[in-house]
Structure formats: structure tokens, C-alpha cells
Amino acid sequence: MNTAPTEIVIESRRRPRLLHELGEVWRYRELLRVLVRRDITVRYKETWLGVFWAVLQPVALMTVFWFALGRVLRVSTGELPYPLFVLAGLLPWTFFSTAISSSMGSLVGASHLIQKVYFPRLIIPLSTLGVPFLDFAIGAAILAAVFAWLKLLAPGAMLALLPLLLIGLAAIALGTLSAALAASYRDTRHMIPLVMQVWMFATPVFYPADIVVESMRWAIDFNPMAPLIDSFRRALVGAPLDWAGCGRSGFFFAAMLWCATWFFMRVERRLSDTL
């Protein structure tokens, strides 16, 4: 095969080599693919209702909010019926939050692999994003069909892919961070679900951003997820996107991803000794 085999140098490295690590992730992309496939196969292999379970969670939450806010408090969502309004926010949010909670435990769950085989460890939290994404895609396909059937789907609905892409970026950034945190501190397991819960309420998932009272506006303005979820939903019905907000969020999560990867690599060095 290769006439000049590559030389691998193994030594103690104080400073993480970010680019080298990303190159390794690329070289091991086959592993990423296989792990994603594994998780999906395992998930759908023995549950006949795999797709059903994927859709059930956001639908159940939607029903709860529909009763609480739509029927009891009568929150106004304009021309979009409240259940659809909630679902269009819950689907991307559920993807984001399940992606983070599954990345969080991923390193600890893969400790047997980490102790025995070399591969760029970033693959592990990345590979856990496959299942939440597939669940999201199934839910989104159903949602789009319902929108289209009710003639609510805007012709430019494909614009929703842009905020979706940024939500993916956010999921990778926070997933990487929480995986590294959970491998270092046990408390992370209790902290992250709490943060995610509070965060959901601070994000216009099940209420429109414009009903928030002036004194609480800051919670939305400083929330990098708010413009993404809002814009995703707006794109579906053809309302103008919050371009500036999406830009700020994109910048914020890109910076976060950089920091998270750096922190992850610091944790990675001593992972097999401490897990």
C-alpha cells in the first residue's frame, strides 16, 4: 500500500493540537459513520415502534402546553394554530436538548473503548448526535406534511435550514463541552438537565417572543438559542427571519465550539487514566 508509512510519534503533550485533532477526526470518519449507524440500528432494531417513540416525546409535550397555554391561558399565536406553533418550536429544541444529554454521558459510557483502543475521542460525543437528529428529521417530515396539508407551509420554508444548521452547531459545541465536563466532574450529570430545563423556559419555544413583558426582555435578548428557534419557526410560515440575531448566535456558538474543543482535548489527555 503506502510505500512510505507515516510515522506516529507518541509523547506527552502539554498543549492540545487542535488542527491535528480535527485531522484525526477526519481520518477516522469511517468510525464516526459506523458508530452513528450502530446507535441507530440498535435503537430501531428491537423496538417496532421506533419511529413512534421518536415522535411521541415532542407530541406529548405539545399536548401539555396546548392545554396549559393554548386552552387555559389562551396565548395568541396569530394565524398559526397553537399546537403547530408549539410543535415547530419543540422539535428543534428537543433535538438540541437530547443531543446534549446523550453527549454528556457518552465518554463515561464508552470507557471500555477508551481504555483499550486509540481513536480521536471527539468521535464519541459527535457520534451520539445521530439518533437525536434522525428523530428530529422524522418529526420534521411529519410536521412539514401537516403544514403543507393545512396550506400553511411557506414557499421559502427551506430557509429554516439555516437556523437548523446553527442549532446543530450549538448542539455540537454544548455536547462536546458537557461530555468533557461529565468526564471530569460528577456534578455535571445533575447540573446539565437543570440548565436545559431553565433554558427551555427562557427560550420562545412554547410562547411567541413578542408576548414577553418589557422587564423580562433581557432573558430573550441574551439567549443565543432564542433567535434560532424563533427563526426556524418563522421560516416555516414565511415570516421574516431574525438575521442579526442568528448571526450573533452563530458567532457565539462557533466561539463556544472552539473553547469546548480545546477544553475537551485537555480532558482527553488523561481520560484513559481517570475514567
Partner 1 sequence: MSEIAVSVEGVCKEFLIGTTPRPTSLRDEIAGGLRNPFRRAVDKTFHALRDVTFSVRQGEIVGICGRNGAGKSTLLKILSRVTEPTRGRARLRGRVSSLLEVGTGFHGDLTGRENIFLNGALLGMRRQEVQARLDEIVAFSDIGKFLDTPVRHYSSGMQARLGFAVAAHLEQEILILDEVLAVGDANFQRKCLERVHTIAGGGKTILMVSHNMQAIERFCHRAVLLVEGQLRDDGLPRGIIDQYYADAEAQVQTAYKEGDEIVVHGSRLTTDAGPGRLRGLIAVTIDLECLREQEHLHCGLGIYNSAGHVLASATAPFGPLPRGKHRLLIELANPGLPPGEYSLSVAVIRRDHWIKLFGRAATFRIPATVTDDPYMLRLQDGHGIALEVRRTETRAPDTSTGGVA
Chain residues that interact with partner 1, rule: CB under 8 A:
1, 5-13, 27-28, 30-31, 33-35, 38, 41-42, 45-46, 112-119, 184-187, 269-270, 272-274
Record the cell numbers describing residue 117, joined without a space: 483502543
Q: Which is nearer to partner 1, 89 or 120 (CB)?
A: 120
Min. distance of Cβ 166 from partner 1 in angstroms? 29
Min. distance of Cβ 200 from partner 1 in angstroms? 23
Q: Which is nearer to partner 1, 214 or 273 (CB)?
A: 273
Q: Is 170 helix (H, G, I), strand (E, B) or coil?
A: helix
Q: Which is nearer to partner 1, 31 or 75 (CB)?
A: 31
Spatial CA neighbour of 236 closest among 167, 168, 145: 145
Min. distance of Cβ 171 from partner 1 in angstroms? 23
CA-to-CA distance for 275 and 256, rounded, in angstroms? 25
Q: Which is nearer to partner 1, 45 or 151 (CB)?
A: 45
Q: Which is nearer to partner 1, 119 or 262 (CB)?
A: 119
Min. distance of Cβ 6 from partner 1 in angstroms? 7
Record the cell numbers describing residue 44, joined without a space: 430501531
Min. distance of Cβ 17 from partner 1 in angstroms? 13
Q: Which amino acid is at 251?
A: F
Q: CA dist 135 to 88, 100, 153, 161, 265, Å?
A: 14, 14, 21, 16, 29
Environment class of 90 (CB within 10 Å of its CB; exposed 0-12, middle 13-18, buried 19+): buried
In sequence order, what are the residues at sequence separation of 6 or more whose Cβ sits closer than 8 angstroms to the Cβ of residue 103? 125, 128, 129, 171, 174, 175, 176, 178, 179
Q: Which is nearer to partner 1, 45 or 74 (CB)?
A: 45
Q: Is 139 helix (H, G, I), strand (E, B) or coil?
A: helix
Q: Which is nearer to partner 1, 89 or 130 (CB)?
A: 130
Record the cell numbers describing residue 166, joined without a space: 446553527
Q: Which is nearer to partner 1, 63 or 272 (CB)?
A: 272
Min. distance of Cβ 55 from partner 1 in angstroms? 23
Min. distance of Cβ 15 from partner 1 in angstroms? 13
Min. distance of Cβ 27 from partner 1 in angstroms? 7
Our measurement of the distance from residue 233's CA atom to the centroid of its chain's CA atoms, rounded to an integer in Å, reads 16
CA-to-CA distance for 218 and 75, rounded, in angstroms? 21
Record the cell numbers describing residue 155, joined without a space: 414557499
Angle at 51 between CA 50 and CA 52, to 5 degrees: 90
CB distance 162 to 246 below 8 Å: yes
Record the cell numbers describing residue 196, joined without a space: 436545559
